[in-house]
Amino acid sequence: MAKEGGVLAMYKCPLGEQCFLLATDDLLMVLRKTIVKMYCNRNYEKCIRYQLFLQGRKVPKNLLPNDRECLTIE
C-alpha cells in the first residue's frame, strides 16, 4: 500500500479521477475538501455517486455523496 499525501492509497476511491464533483470549478473549495476527506479518501463505499456507478445507473452531476443535491451545480 502506497501512501499519497498521508492517506493510504487503498482507501482512495477508484473513481476519483473521473468524478464530476471533483472536476468542476462550481463547487466551493471548502465543500470539495470536505467531500474528499469524508468520502474519496476514506469511505467511498458510502458515497451514493459511487453506489449508483456500480449499479450501472446514471449519476446526476449535482448529486452529493450523501444523496443530497448541490444547488450550485446544474
The tens digit of pLDDT for each residue in 35-65 reads 889 999 989 999 999 999 999 999 998 899 9
Number of domains in the chain: 1
Partners of 7 in beta bridges: 4
Question: Is residue 27 within 8 Å of 19, Cβ to Cβ?
Answer: no
Q: For residue 10, name the pLDDT band (cuts at 50, 70, 90).
A: low
Does residue 25 lie within any of the structural domains? yes
Helix spans in 1-74 (H): 20-23, 29-35, 48-54
Q: What is the mean pLDDT of the chain?
A: 81
The residue segments making up the domain with residue 41 are: 3-54
Alpha-carbon 74 to chain mean position: 17
Does residue 64 lie within any of the structural domains? no
Asked whether the predicted pLDDT for residue 7 surpasses 60, the reply is no
Between 5 and 21, the higher pLDDT residue: 21
* Mean pLDDT, range 1-26, rounded to an integer: 68
How high is the pLDDT of residue 73? 64
State which amino acid sits at residue 44: Y
